[in-house]
A = this chain, B = another copy of it.
Amino acid sequence: MVIIVLIIMSQLHEKIFQALKILLNIEQNFIPLHEPSFDGKEWQYVKECLGTGWVSTAGKFVDEFELQLAQYTRSKYAIAVVNGTSALHICLKLAGVKPNDEVIIPALTFVATANAVSYCSAIPHFVDSEEKTLGLDPVKLEKYLEIIAEIDNNECFNKNTGRRIKAVVPVHTFGHPVDIDYIKEICNNFSVVLIEDAAESLGSFYKKRHTGLDGLMSALSFNGNKIISTGGGGAILTNDESLAKQARHLTTTAKIPHKWEYIHDELGYNYRMPNINAALGCAQLEQMTGILQCKRYLAKRYEKVFNEIQGVRFFTEPEFAKSNYWLNCILLDIPDLELRDKILKITNENGIMTRPTWTLLNQLPMYKDCPKMTLTTAEKLSARLINIPSSANL
């Protein structure tokens, strides 16, 4: 039995490579992990934008893009900014995160989630992920907070560090929604603010609600590798009118509207999305339905192929979710860094771009001393997970 398993595993990287090769039907020399599709009115809108001379941080495409985003997600307000990192930074500022506060985030996420916390001079506090969603594990979070948190005057404090825990930021990893109802309940019970990092989940739904609408605010990203791209770009979603107004204010250098005076009433940021990038965004958003269909169809094909291979499975959306399948991934049954690297090597050397998941943030030098819970699942996922090509045009 042991021998059979060993044989299966020793050939697994070859099998996975062959499966990808056949499914992706390589004609190109190189299949990237994710590339955007510009098959709509991108050129038309960008041309129009250039024609008006309004390419910068004001103009009709910014307004239009924000309107379309709000309509698509059913968020009351959307504020377009330069990227997802800046969106999250502003969300955290407006959530009231102050220097020396702690903000709970998963260890298994892109570094920007922690960086946005650092920009507020606050401290990331890392928690574990669950295999079902690849995102923050609510069961573990609840148990953990029961041990380390104490509530004082409607604020949550970390008993071990004495610092205030101001917010929890779950990430909808690779587009797969976390169990946000449960996490929201925990946040309510422990008096912490819920901010969603929805950078990867435009087009992903949790129980038929678009992701990013359950917390106080959320951050979207339209970077070049995202489901739609504005070159670089992001957005803030919120249903709160006052927060939307403040977000707009903070991201436009906190300038008070005036006929001619330059008065800024607080520390602001140069974070608004330029009109030319928004022009791209308008054209991209028009194609969301088609992009999502392509991506879900690709995921179905992946699922079928990997069902046939022992020792690995294709990650599928949690039962409560309809995911955008932004970045597809496979999971080895058994954590095995050596095997994972063999798979990464054979695919990348043969023109199929694959990636491991991010280095757990608690392992990066600048975050190694931050507070954390035991990260059993995240550590295992690191040695099991490989991202595979996911472009809508595949």
- Contact partner of A86 among B253, B261, B270, B364, CB < 8 A? B270
With both beta carbons as reference points, the residue of chain B lying nearest to A112 in the complex is identified as B270
A265: Cβ under 8 A from any B Cβ: yes
A268: Cβ under 8 A from any B Cβ: yes
Asked whether, in the complex, the Cβ of B364 is within 8 Å of the Cβ of A231, the reply is: no
A225: Cβ under 8 A from any B Cβ: yes
**Copies held by the complex:** 2
Asked whether, in the complex, the Cβ of A259 is within 8 Å of the Cβ of B115, the reply is: no
A residues at B contact (CB < 8 Å): 35-38, 42-43, 46-47, 50, 53-58, 82-86, 110-112, 115, 118-119, 121, 223-225, 229-232, 253-255, 259-270, 272-277, 280, 344, 348, 354-359, 364-366
Q: What's the dominant secondary structure at chain A's contact region?
A: loop
Residues on B with beta carbons closer than 8 Å to the beta carbon of A50? 38, 42-43, 46, 280
- Contact partner of A115 among B253, B348, B356, B364, CB < 8 A? B253
Asked whether, in the complex, the Cβ of B231 is within 8 Å of the Cβ of A275, the reply is: yes
Question: Which interface residue of A231, A268, A276, A364 has the most chain B CB atoms within 10 A?
Answer: A231
Residues on B with beta carbons closer than 8 Å to the beta carbon of A224? 54-58, 274-275
Q: Separation in Å of the A42 CB from the closest CB of chain B?
A: 6
A-B interface, 5 closest residue pairs, ranked by CB to CB distance from nearest = A56-B224, A231-B274, A232-B274, A85-B270, A231-B276
Q: How far is the CA of A266 from the CA of B38 in the complex (A)?
A: 34
